[in-house]
Chains A and B, each alone.
Chain A
Amino acid sequence: MTTKTNAHAKPVRRRSVMAGAAAAGGGFTFGFNVPFFGAHAQAAAPEINAWVVIRPDDKVVIRIARSEMGQGTETGLAQLVAEELECDWSKVTTEYPTPTQNLARQRIWRNFSTGGSRGVRESNEYVRQGGAAARDMLVRAAAAEWKVKPEECSVDKGVITHKATNRKLTYGKVAAAAAKLDPPKEIKLKDPKDWKIAGKPLKRLDTLDKLTGKQIYGIDLRLPGMLTATIKDAPVFGAKVVSFDADRVKSMPGVKGVVKVGDTAVAVIAETYWTARNALAALPVVWEETANSKVSSATIAATLKEGLDAAEAFVGNKAGDAKAAIAGAAKKIEAVYSYPYQHHVTMEPMNATALFTPDKCEVWCPTQNGEAALAATADASGLPAAKCEVYKMLLGGGFGRRGRTDYVRQAVLIAKQMPGVPIKLIWSREEDMTHCQYHPVTMCKLVGGLNDKGDLVGLHVRISGQSILSSVLPQNLVNGMDPVQFQGFAASGVEAAYGYNVPNLLVDHAMRNPHVPPGFWRGVNTNQNAVYMECFMDELAAAAGQDPLEFRRKMLKPKWLAVLNAAAAKAGYGKPLPKGHFHGIAQIMGYGSYVAGVAEVSVSDAGVLKIHKITAATDCGHVVNPAQIERQVAGSFVYGLTALLYGEITIKDGAVEQTNFDSYNMMRIDEMPKVETVLVPSGGFWGGVGEPTIAVAAPAVLNAIAKATGKRIRSLPLMHHDLKKA
């Protein structure tokens, strides 16, 4: 049933044959394959196990459950499988299983969710086991054909050899027989020091089509008979539609429908996006007035400010008696910081395509969470999940935004009103800018006490502001507390523990939740928590009359210190810099990894900032692809520095004021510092790399600015500050 394709959707160069595995029933997709419900094998090849398919021509298809959105997880996970499989890397392609297939096979591919830098760190073990099990089965199949013991056979690059008789067989020749064998009962994984494919700076698998225009993203999808919709949701979040005057636009040429979507949104369906967009712009819509219509950035700030001194707060980390220690300290230092709302701004605006009939519902969408997209599809369509299918398209950026399913739900609700017609919903950039789940807003008051030797004897960190979990995953709150709020401040654990030994410590959170929907944004709460802690650490060092690095060295635990030392050594911290250049440092633990950065900046007499270089060290335990980690580190800095320089979503009359890049600026190449990445993997654990380093960029730069100008900046973005020397 692959006949429903069209000339455009038919790929010129397929990266994987559609539905390579007969056993799984089809629907696999990666790259720009455009699959359809019920599609079945074009070229049946045996599935050795859920992770590995080997074709008769020795091509190896590795299944990837996590979503590729630029972070390189497709390549990294494939390296891990290929390493254990001992296949020929040049013959590797990949494909996505669909969420419905995962459901049907009792979640054999486990978690599809792609966020929290967890692709490699949480699935490395079972995908490696998948590769190792497949290798074992392939070798046993060859041994059986030769009537020899498997132990007498060796394998290299997908060729099995029986040395004693000098016989050879390729994986493709024994794949069919191997597929019929039982999986091994015990699987021994390689020691990472023996890796040949994993751990190497291999090129990404998915580059070529991105250079020629062939790569199909969700927004590029074209299906026969497809119409395009665009949508306008309530400017004030959650406000219901009172009325809209469809008659004003439905006779415009090319307009096919004007529909209400849920309680709060209206969409126009048309032959093309441009037609839909123009009709929607001309459509009069009235929304209800709500209490939220009076909310502004100023009212939100007032609420947060009140929380800084509120009596009640959730305690995230506590040691000794911080308040008493500060009261008895020789010197008391206090500062208030703030961090505004941020928008993800994926380059590809939100989109999803849905085809609804009373019997089934199919969705094609870029998503970081295929299983959540499937659940949203089932819920919005009213059909059981088994009758729904979600085909994951390559994401034009994710950064946390596409872990949510609001746009998927909308697409299904629209398609449901025009059964049998595939409808592609595309958000305008303006809709996207004003309907995100924003990086939340917080303020932070820090109070530190120094003894007469300049040692930090007491520290109170009071965070006031918005919780993400209370909105997104309230079931994950712990007695009302949002543990994610304390990223980088946690008392212990492998995720985001606090690195300083402070004898008397209190980190607490006064939760204040404005109506603006919050969400996970690359690095999440490590972003502002690193600014708060690491900038204040420099303020404490200055008050103690000590160098910021030496001040930290007295308190940092070994793994945190090692990474900071590695960054400082590589950057030449403490050595002479060009005239007018200054270093600033920062460190944090996040997503299971230890990271540190040294920023080198200068500020001209006119107050113009130049970030010359950031040297960044990462200890992520094991390195799967150093070249891709370097790209993630540099990329994370662009994201973090954009927030530092320009990022601020403001609220007026309950709605977001920014509408596009002309009012929400982005860092370009001319502001890009040179980024030098230092990898110091210490082994024994698996940390993430997509997010952790983002957090150190802003505080390292702010600390360098303070040295350069004497000005301590405590609120973002920098565009609001005059950096002329104090």
Chain B
Amino acid sequence: MPALTVNGKVHQVTVDPRTPLLWVLRDTIGLTGTKYGCGVAQCGACTVHIDGVATRSCQVPLSQVTGNKKIVTVEGLATNGVLNKVQRAWLAQDVPQCGYCQSGMIMAAVALLKDKPKPTDADIDAAMTNICRCGTYQQVRAAIHEAAKA
């Protein structure tokens, strides 16, 4: 039975190996923090980390991520109940409006800061291609800069 490692926990999953990781997370494992927005890797609402790389899970079939791959979702960012510095910056900046895109935004920001601990505005522009329809971009930018100082 294929094993899927999500947030440090191993899950035995029996669904069709072509099923996108997004729907395995949401419907099979029950982690609904990762959102469906488009299904075609355009909006970024489904962003998770696969071995530390921000990836749009709607376009990743289960078969590609079983075995040794380590998946982290938004539910796995806080450790022992302590929020990640990006989540803390998001809280301080009061970023979310409806909040639906924010899981993906936060996962993208965490990956950006790992890659570039002090990102410039241009770095943020290049890395943060997630869509937010409420229009939280100004707050997202402020929160990333705040997290970079933490």
B partners with A: yes
Q: Which residues of A contact B (CB under 8 A)?
A: 7-8, 69-72, 203-204, 206-208, 210-217, 219-220, 222, 228, 272-274, 344-349, 394-399, 426, 428-429, 627, 631, 634-639, 660-662, 666, 668-670, 672, 674-675
CB contacts (< 8 Å) of A207 on chain B: these are: 90-91, 94-96, 99
Pair B34/A213 contact, Cβ less than 8 Å: yes
* In-complex Cβ contact of A666 among B20, B78, B91, B133 (8 A): B133
B101 in the interface (beta carbon within 8 A): yes
Shortest A101–chain B CB gap in Å is: 25
Pair B40/A211 contact, Cβ less than 8 Å: no
Q: Which residue of B lies closest to A430 (CB)?
A: B39
Complex Cα distance, B123 from A670, in Å, reads 10
Q: Which residue of A lies closest to B87 (CB)?
A: A211
B111 in the interface (beta carbon within 8 A): no
Shortest A690–chain B CB gap in Å is: 10
Complex Cα distance, B132 from A213, in Å, reads 16
B32 in the interface (beta carbon within 8 A): yes
Q: Contacts A217-B100, A670-B129 known; list 20 others, CB within 8 Å.
A: A204-B96, A210-B102, A212-B78, A213-B74, A215-B33, A215-B99, A220-B32, A346-B133, A347-B37, A347-B131, A396-B99, A397-B134, A399-B133, A636-B135, A638-B132, A661-B42, A666-B133, A668-B130, A669-B128, A670-B125
Pair B38/A637 contact, Cβ less than 8 Å: no
B30 in the interface (beta carbon within 8 A): yes
Known: A203-B94, A214-B33, A635-B136. A272 touches B27 (CB 8 A): yes
Q: Which residue of A lies closest to B92 (CB)?
A: A203
Complex Cα distance, B124 from A29, in Å, reads 37
* In-complex Cβ contact of B106 among A7, A211, A399, A426 (8 A): A211
5 smallest CB-CB distances across A and B, nearest first, come from: A213-B33, A638-B135, A70-B98, A635-B135, A210-B99
Complex Cα distance, B73 from A668, in Å, reads 22
Q: Which residues of B contact A (CB under 8 A)?
A: 15-16, 19-20, 23, 26-28, 30-40, 42-43, 45, 73-75, 77-78, 83, 87, 90-91, 94-103, 106, 124-126, 128-141
Known: A228-B27, A634-B138, A638-B132. A212 touches B101 (CB 8 A): no
Shortest A11–chain B CB gap in Å is: 12
Pair B32/A347 contact, Cβ less than 8 Å: no
CB contacts (< 8 Å) of B77 on chain A: these are: 212
Pair B97/A635 contact, Cβ less than 8 Å: yes
CB contacts (< 8 Å) of A220 on chain B: these are: 26, 32
* In-complex Cβ contact of A274 among B23, B90, B103 (8 A): B23
Interface centre among B33, B96, B135, B139, by most chain A C-beta atoms within 10 angstroms, is: B135
Pair A660/B42 contact, Cβ less than 8 Å: yes
Pair B40/A669 contact, Cβ less than 8 Å: no
Interface centre among B15, B73, B94, B103, by most chain A C-beta atoms within 10 angstroms, is: B94
Known: A216-B32, A637-B135. A395 touches B96 (CB 8 A): no
Pair B141/A669 contact, Cβ less than 8 Å: yes
CB contacts (< 8 Å) of A219 on chain B: these are: 32, 35-36
Shortest A289–chain B CB gap in Å is: 30
* In-complex Cβ contact of A272 among B28, B78, B98 (8 A): B28
CB contacts (< 8 Å) of A396 on chain B: these are: 35, 98-100
* In-complex Cβ contact of A661 among B43, B75, B128, B135 (8 A): B43
Pair B98/A395 contact, Cβ less than 8 Å: yes
* In-complex Cβ contact of A397 among B15, B31, B98 (8 A): B98
Shortest B44–chain A CB gap in Å is: 9
Q: List 16 A-B contacts (CB under 8 A).
A: A72-B97, A207-B95, A211-B74, A211-B83, A212-B74, A212-B83, A213-B33, A213-B73, A213-B74, A219-B32, A219-B35, A347-B35, A631-B139, A638-B137, A668-B129, A670-B125
Q: Which residue of B lies closest to A635 (CB)?
A: B135
Complex Cα distance, B130 from A217, in Å, reads 19
Q: Which residue of B lies closest to A637 (CB)?
A: B135
Pair B96/A213 contact, Cβ less than 8 Å: no
CB contacts (< 8 Å) of B27 on chain A: these are: 228, 272-274
CB contacts (< 8 Å) of A210 on chain B: these are: 96, 99, 102
Shortest A206–chain B CB gap in Å is: 8
Complex Cα distance, B75 from A426, in Å, reads 23
CB contacts (< 8 Å) of B135 on chain A: these are: 634-639, 672
Q: Which residue of B lies closest to A344 (CB)?
A: B133
Shortest A227–chain B CB gap in Å is: 11
CB contacts (< 8 Å) of B31 on chain A: these are: 213
Complex Cα distance, B39 from A313, in Å, reads 45
CB contacts (< 8 Å) of B15 on chain A: these are: 272, 274
CB contacts (< 8 Å) of B129 on chain A: these are: 668-670
Complex Cα distance, B134 from A397, in Å, reads 7
Complex Cα distance, B33 from A214, in Å, reads 6
Shortest A339–chain B CB gap in Å is: 19
CB contacts (< 8 Å) of A70 on chain B: these are: 96-99, 134
Pair B35/A348 contact, Cβ less than 8 Å: yes
Complex Cα distance, B99 from A394, in Å, reads 10
* In-complex Cβ contact of A674 among B87, B126, B138, B139 (8 A): B138
CB contacts (< 8 Å) of B136 on chain A: these are: 631, 635
Known: A212-B83, A661-B131. A347 touches B40 (CB 8 A): no
Complex Cα distance, B94 from A72, in Å, reads 11
Shortest A691–chain B CB gap in Å is: 13
CB contacts (< 8 Å) of B102 on chain A: these are: 210-211
Complex Cα distance, B124 from A674, in Å, reads 14
Interface centre among B15, B130, B133, B140, by most chain A C-beta atoms within 10 angstroms, is: B133
Pair A662/B42 contact, Cβ less than 8 Å: yes
Complex Cα distance, B30 from A216, in Å, reads 12
Q: Which residue of A lies closest to B45 (CB)?
A: A347
Complex Cα distance, B83 from A124, in Å, reads 35
